[in-house]
Amino acid sequence: MDTEAVARTLEELGILLEIRGENPFRCRAYHTAAQALRGLTEDLTDLIASGRLEQIPGIGASMRDKITRLATTGRLEEYEALRRETPSGLIALVRVPGLGPKKVRALHEALGIRSLEDLKAALRAGKVAAIKGFGEKTAARIAEGISFLESSSERIRLDTATRLALPLLERLRTTPGVAQADWGGSLRRRAETIGDLDLLFAADDPAPVLAACAGWPEVESVLAQGSTRLSVRLSEGPQLDVRGVLPSQYAFALNYFTGSKAHNIHLRRRAQERGLKLSEYALEGPRGAIACRDEAALYRALGLSYIPPELREDQGEIEAAESGSLPKLLEYAHLKGTFHCHTDWSDGLDSLEAMVEAARSLGLEYLGIADHSRSAAYAGGLSIERVREQRSAIDRLNQSLGPAIRVFQGIECDILADGSLDYPDEVLAGFDYVVASVHSNFRLSRQDMTARICRAAAHPRVTMLGHPTGRLILARAGYEVDLNEVIAVCARHGTMIEINADPHRLDLDALHARAARQAGVTIVINPDAHATAGLANLQFGVDVARRAWLTSADVFNTRPARQVAAALAAGKASSRP
């Protein structure tokens, strides 16, 4: 098994144990180990071979042995036994928003529910609400969760799509006969969720290349195969479509198969208005085919500057390309640091020192530590005394680091139900910055939730608003909130809003990030990293920012450390009573 497969198995084992009602600490150990594996920056095989696996936080001797057996043999007797003993449909039920292993167990024991269809039938019959500890509201939430799950079940998150497609693309590019290759579709546009994966390549004879792709080990089954197209089902579930074209057709095919559909329709209409015909294989005029060696040449032939894939949604990008007013989009290299990061002081896996060293290895000039505040007891939230202890630790670390990297002490401060903050003002005043986030009471009305968040955003000690909608992509819809009103309050009070770059969140989304910047709100890209590997989430935040038309000037953490320190200090000074 590869690292991700091992992590998935451990995660499922923890869920199986929870469904059986096993000791919660034992269950949690498997989830912690899975998270640790997903945070690895080294190859799992190398760690096992060198005997260093047990040095990873969250992995003890017993877990080391289980991981080793899974990685080397692909099997684990305890897991296989639990799978045999547990109805397979119960694991699927855990994916329903509003359900967890404990509720799934209660449903199974009270009503004999073994599958999603069983649960839907019980809901229709009103049996779920009658179970002790459930009630009408819980039953309604479960029904909502099922609808949400079914509406999104055919899609995968951007990070999953990237993980699956990148090695396939690299293999395709090295296949004999391939001149060029790239991914297409919503993955190339860096959309937050992806349906089918699309790979495109150029070759003088595509058929043998497609035959080689059909034999890839990741392919579970071949759905369709021809001389220019292959459709397969990958072993992890998604469909992969591979298309081959001649080198002379590649620029047109790449543009077409990148999309979006609305962008393509607009381009074709523009071509027609100029007496041209644009298809997925050619651009033709009165005198015949117009050669285009790349997409930039295609756009020039239509009187446009090059439009980056992230903007191809027919949201004004063609008009901007015609007038020469497309923004110079943010790039990953523009980021100088970041803020919303967790350590093992709260629910992070890695130490303060390890997180800082990882940031330094990425070339960042500064790192902000924002562990959870005291109300987040489930996440090891910091008491006031622990806040002071961490501040001293950060001060000592800054003294030892010198000018190489600056560490800022922040906090991810819970926004309480009434919009107040989790610490008194005198404690908040001691932080370099404050990320204010909602972590509880998601079921407030739209009016009350909006008032709650706006009150926090207007607080003079709040620097930035964290994951403003609370959504988890393909797992949980965001809470009801008027984001336009929140954006207006942030603009009025100079409060930044983060693009939370954790690919489970991507919150703000591109649409609202663009609206926020147009309203005068400064955007900050934060990884919400809970381990050193989580710092890589920054790339997904950059993807959102690019889809939102943002430039480096629009994003706070493109500023160098000295300017950031001055801006944060000025913000604290202006908020003093």
173 and 134 housed in the same domain: no
Residue type (1 letter), 344: D
Question: How many domains in the chain?
Answer: 3
143 and 197 housed in the same domain: no
Locate tokens 């200090």: which residue? 569
Round to whole Å and give the CA distance between 147 and 186. 23
Long-range Cβ pairs for the range 161-169 (8 Å, 24+): 161/187, 161/194, 161/197, 161/238, 162/187, 163/4, 164/197, 164/218, 164/234, 164/236, 164/238, 165/197, 165/199, 165/240, 168/197, 168/199, 168/216, 168/218, 168/240, 169/199
Beta bridge partners of residue 156, listed in sequence order? 194
pLDDT, mean of each 10-residue run, the chain (577 residues):
88 91 89 86 87 86 92 91 88 84 92 91 92 90 85 85 96 97 97 96 97 95 95 92 97 97 97 96 94 97 98 97 97 98 94 96 97 93 97 96 93 97 96 97 95 97 97 91 97 97 97 97 97 95 98 98 95 66
365 and 265 housed in the same domain: no
Last residue of a domain, one of 152, 186, 202: 152
pLDDT at residue 211, rounded to an integer: 96
Q: What is the CATH number of the domain that holds 63?
A: 1.10.150.110
317 and 403 housed in the same domain: no
b/e for 245-284, b at 16 or more Cβ within 10 A? beeebbbbbbbbbbbbeebbebbbebbeeeebebeeebbe
User: What are the helix (H) ranges across 126-218?
Assistant: 135-152, 158-173, 185-188, 206-214
Round to whole Å and give the CA distance between 502 and 28. 21
202 and 67 housed in the same domain: no
Residue among 301, 291, 305, 310 at smallest CA distance from 250: 291
**Please, what is the end-to-end C-alpha distance for the chain in angstroms?**
58
Asked if residue 373 lies in contact with residue 346, where contact means CB atoms within 8 angstroms, the answer is no
223 and 88 housed in the same domain: no
Structure tokens of 328? 């110079």
Q: How far lies 498's CA from each of 429, 462, 516, 525, in Å?
A: 20, 12, 10, 6
Task: State the greatest distance between any 2 C-alpha atoms of the chain, in Å, as a whole number.
Answer: 78
Round to whole Å and give the CA distance between 22 and 28. 10
- Structure letter (DSSP) for residue 248: G
What three-state secondary structure class fits 193? strand
Q: What is the CATH number of the domain that holds 473?
A: 3.20.20.140
Structure tokens of 478? 């965001």
384 and 510 housed in the same domain: yes
Task: Tell me how crowded residue 143 is: count the other CB atoms within 10 A of its CB.
Answer: 17
357 and 385 housed in the same domain: yes
Structure tokens of 88? 């397979």
Round to whole Å and give the CA distance between 445 and 22. 36
300 and 358 housed in the same domain: no
Structure tokens of 122? 């019980």
Round to whole Å and give the CA distance between 437 and 413. 6
Last residue of a domain, one of 303, 323, 343: 323
174 and 124 housed in the same domain: no
101 and 224 housed in the same domain: no
Q: Which domain holds residue 251?
A: 157-323
Last residue of a domain, one of 119, 152, 185: 152
Q: How far lies 52's CA from each of 40, 57, 84, 344, 469, in Å?
A: 12, 11, 33, 20, 40
261 and 354 housed in the same domain: no
Residue 568: how many CA atoms within 13 Å on its side-chain side? 26
Q: What is the CATH number of the domain that holds 307?
A: 3.30.460.10
